[in-house]
Copies of this chain bind each other. A is one copy, B any other.
Amino acid sequence: MRRKTNIVAAFAALTVLASAEAPAADSLPSWNEGAAKQSIIEFVEKTTKSGSADFVPAEQRIAVFDNDGTLWCEQPVYVQVAFAIDRVKALAPKHPEWKEKEPFASLLRGDAKAALAGGERSAVEIIIATHVGMTTEEFRRIVKEWLKTARHPVYQRPYSELAYQPMLEVLAHLRQNGFKTYIVSGGGVEFMRAFALEVYGVPPEQVIGSSGKTRFEMRDGKPVLVKQPEILFIDDGPGKPEGINLFIGRRPLMAFGNSDGDLNMLQWTTAGEGAHFGLIVHHTDAKREVAYDRESHIGKLDKALDAADSAGWTVVDMAQDWKVVFPASK
């Protein structure tokens, strides 16, 4: 009995002191004050504050984020395309037929735009086609190695430093408030898992992406998974809510995107009962990044922008809402 009482007393003291200690810190310091920042703060408050009408138990707090153009830079080409170009160059000696065959021929000539003419889906196909025959573990090593040395053609920085600082703060703020943060991206799942934990703090099991088949094999008595050329699943457009259902099995509370490929994910998420939140990152900042939306063939934002107003989604004006775009150099 005595011990129990001591524990209670110590715990109570700790709680009181800890809350007295806690400063009213700004969780989103890279966001300018305004409607966008306020909408995030308020949504998190009302869904996590015990006793709130919109309170949601911690295990149901799921937030999904598109990757390219939402969490990191997707211009002038998707990061994976930059990786694929380097891989095509590295593998070209073993594939003489690529010199004649599109889209490889264009990639080898350095004309990523021509290779990308078919949009995100063809980009995904190129990426998966250049990633086969090796084991999943070999592939992950290749991506990690590449990320160490590759530099963005404009900013001349490692891609891992081109995550958007304001969005990194949103990820951290949500996790501090009991949310599970997921990536739901048209990009290849194995590619993203090679860096998602380090760059975003998102573990592999919370990364959903376009997926190729793998095949279980025994090699020298050891089981391996070998990446196959067949596409299992394209995680874009309607594939995003389908993928969320397949991998998570419940409706997220919050969805973050930047393009029409995220429209169905935003619709699906915010159609749930009770409080839900949708946000679109609108690339308006020609000075610090690139300004693009309705006419862009990368990250085209047209229908989703039209839908945002009546749906009540937050639209982030990057030029206005963000104090900085990229983190300070390391």
Contacts and interface: CB of A to CB of B under 8 A. Distances in A.
Interface in A221-256: 222-223, 225, 232-233, 238, 241-242, 245-250
A267 interface: yes
A193 interface: yes
Contacts of A233: 232
Interface string A172-200: 00000000100000000110010000000
A178 to B, nearest CB: 14
A42 interface: no
A156 interface: no
A100 interface: no
Interface string A6-25: 11001101100110110000
A91 interface: no
A151 B267 CA distance: 39
Interface size class of A (residues with CB under 8 A): 35 or more
A214 B240 CA distance: 11
Tell me what chain A mostly uses at the interface: helix, strand, loop, or mixed. helix
Interface in A3-60: 3-4, 6-7, 10-11, 13-14, 17-18, 20-21, 59
A211 interface: yes
Nearest to A238: B216
A204 interface: yes
Contacts of A117: none
A204 B242 contact: no
Contacts of A248: 204-205
Nearest to A20: B3
B17 A6 contact: yes
6 contacts: A3-B17, A4-B21, A215-B238, A216-B238, A225-B245, A225-B268
